[in-house]
Amino acid sequence: EIVVTQSPATLSVSPGERVILSCRASQTIRYLAWYQQIRGQAPRLLIDAVSSRATGVPARFSGSGSGTEFTLTISSLQSEDFALYFCQQYHSWPLTFGQGTRLEIQ
């Protein structure tokens, strides 16, 4: 099983700031997705295949990385971006998620 680790667990930031969330896999993977989860809602696919924005996702969200190290960057935080973010590998079964990073308003 591929273990996926996210850091940090919580990030306190201010609107307008640029933020980078990290995701590390325990072995080399090719397929990684990022999800946003607003409290009380189902997760929403943000980034697919490491760097492809899902339909309707604003351009301020971008994904990058390779091998075992991946990042999600939000270029300028908006109020609606304060949420929980998960990365997930689908390189191999079983599918696994990171523990999540919560963005909080500073």
Partner 1 sequence: QLQLQESGPRLVKPSETLSLTCTVSGDSINSDSHYWGWLRQPPGKGLEWIGSVSYTGTVHYNPSFISRLTISVDTSTSQFSLHLTSVTAADTAVYYCARRPYYHGFDVWGPGTSVAVSS
Catalog residues that contact partner 1 under the rule CB under 8 A. Answer: 1, 31, 33, 35, 37, 41-45, 48-49, 54, 86, 88, 90, 93-100
The bridge status of strand 44-48 relative to strand 32-37 is: antiparallel
Cβ-based nearer residue to partner 1, 18 or 30: 30
Name the minimum Å distance from CB 46 to partner 1.
9
Q: How many CA atoms lie within 13 A of 70 on its CB side?
A: 31
Residue 62 · residue 51 · CB < 8 Å: yes
Cβ-based nearer residue to partner 1, 35 or 82: 35
Name the minimum Å distance from CB 99 to partner 1.
5
Name the minimum Å distance from CB 47 to partner 1.
8
Which two tokens mark 69? 């190290």
